[in-house]
Amino acid sequence: MRLHLKVPAAAMVLVAGCGGTDSPCVDVQATITTAYSLTPSCTSPVGVCTAGNVTSANLKGTTWFTALSSQPSSPPGVASYAGDLVITTADGTVTLRDSGLLNSSSGRYFELQEVTSGTGAYLRATGMLVSQGTATATGFEGTLSGSFCEVQRYANWIETPRKQAIVENPGLLLYETP
């Protein structure tokens, strides 16, 4: 029971360290619901992929998780795993490296997720999320919380060379000619 309380506290210390005061950060408090996906697009070496949705005021989109590794750990009945979670929003995609624990007896999971790459508004994003929840008969239901930093706020981002240039060179002013 002690370990269960220490891990979330340690995770929140990691999440709180995102960016600093000079960095524009977006707080994330979201729900995530996924279903197992055994389609040909699942390239997981351990055979586990999920597709789903994430919903909050600051983060809304679809998800795709690919498990890259899985192994039993201590105590018995707990498995550790790692994979990639891709969240696709109207403003771009953000890819997170996911490290988690799943208790097969209770169905509870706990994950740390670190931003590894992004496109559109998430091109330069950094940050960490914590996810926890429960396995269901068809997938998982839980929460995501933490921060994304260096997120560009563009409504309904469409990837174009012009917008890409603006994100890569924030001081650049582009003028359109008739």
Tell me what pLDDT residue 153 has: 64
pLDDT band at 29 (very low <50, low <70, confident <90, very high): very high
Residue 48 pLDDT more than 50? yes
Query: Hey, what amino acid is at 8?
Result: P
**Collapsed DSSP state (helix, strand, coil) of residue 56:** coil
Other CB atoms within 10 Å distance of the CB of residue 167: 20
Q: Tens digit of pLDDT for each residue in 158-168? A: 444 444 444 44
Tell me, what's the pLDDT at 58?
84
CA angle 168, 171, 176 (to 5 degrees): 85
- Which CATH class name applies to 2-168? mainly beta
pLDDT given for residue 163 in this prediction: 47
Q: For the stretch 122-156, what's the b/e string if a residue is b when 16 or more beta carbons lie within 10 angstroms of its beta carbon? A: bbebbbbbbbbbebeeebbebbbbbbbbbbbeeee
Q: Read off the pTM.
A: 0.75
State pLDDT tens for residues 118-149.
999 999 999 999 999 999 999 999 999 999 99
> Which helix (H) or strand (E) element contains residue 25?
strand 25-36
Mean pLDDT, the chain, integer: 81
pLDDT score of 170 more than 50: no
Give the distance from CA 78 to its chain's centroid. Answer: 22
Per-domain residue ranges of the chain: 2-168
